[in-house]
Amino acid sequence: MRLKGRKVVGGYAEGEALVSADPVSFYGGVDPETGVVVEPGHAVEGECITGKVFVFPTGKGSTVGSYVIYRMSKLGTAPAALVNSETEAIIATGCVISGIPLVDKLDRDPLVEIKSGDLLKVSADEGVVEVVK
């Protein structure tokens, strides 16, 4: 299945999908040392996003979240790519400064069409997310 959307940050990545129905705050919600979602009660609490294509509706929280994403990229704990329903500025900035591919506004709802564990190929320059079941 091929989903078409908008390039926010270009690049290419492949990886296993981790899908969350909840918005994400990287500041306080994700441990940058381990890549594990630590926000209590979060839909993917306890899951590691390192090297995965992290699919979630949008970001939330402090502007420091951009720098947490950057720190994760330097530590090697960052996701391979992000796919959002609609990206907000904090997530976009973090991906820009970290070189993490980011796509949003897909032609079909990624939270419905993509399942955790699916293999995804993200061609962000074209705004394409390919789902390989």
| CATH at 60 | 3.50.30.10
Active site residue 62: yes
In tens, the pLDDT along 29-56 reads: 999 999 999 999 999 999 999 999 999 9
In tens, the pLDDT along 62-77 reads: 899 999 999 999 999 9
Q: Is the Cβ–Cβ distance between 1 and 131 less than 8 Å?
A: yes
**Domains contained in the chain, number:** 1
- Name the residue range of residue 97's domain: 2-132
pTM across the whole model? 0.97
Average pLDDT rounded to a whole number, residues 96-101: 98
Q: Looking at 62, 73, 85, 116, which residue is catalytic?
A: 62
Q: Distance of CA 129 to CAs 1, 3, 19, 123, Å?
A: 8, 5, 14, 6
In tens, the pLDDT along 108-128 reads: 999 999 999 999 999 999 999
